[in-house]
Amino acid sequence: MIVHGEAPVAYWTAQGMARAAGVPLARAVVEGWITRADLDAIVHRCAACTRCADCRNWLARLHPEPPGFCAIRPDIEALRAFL
């Protein structure tokens, strides 16, 4: 299990991407939409992505959708079904 102390940039980038799209990752875990293992996998995919700097720049511009290159975009879009 990954905790944000082990991959802080990926954890907060994933949170930011999801939040920008209106998807609360913490709530998704608490309400059972996804498991903690699912959240860990999302953070791992984000951490493995080679475009972190692009994501930080994208987030700074307050876009409402994750960019097409975002490694966790499919996860975020899937979670929208629960909103």
Q: What is the 8-class DSSP label of residue 72?
A: T
| pLDDT value, residue 3 | 52
pTM score over 0.85: no
Of the candidates 15, 75, 8, 17, which has an alpha carbon nearest to the alpha carbon of residue 41?
A: 75
- The span from the first CA to the last CA of the chain, in angstroms, equals 26
Of the candidates 67, 36, 65, which has an alpha carbon nearest to the alpha carbon of residue 28?
A: 36
- Asked, for residue 3, whether it belongs to a domain, the answer is no
Taking a C-beta distance cutoff of 8 angstroms, is the pair 17, 76 a contact? yes
Residue 65 is part of which domain span?
A: 8-82
The tally of domains found in the chain comes to: 1
Contacting residues for 65 by C-beta, under 8 A, at least 6 apart:
20, 21
| pLDDT value, residue 9 | 85
pLDDT along the chain (83 residues), means of 10: 65 90 90 92 91 85 83 89 74
- Asked, for residue 50, whether it belongs to a domain, the answer is yes
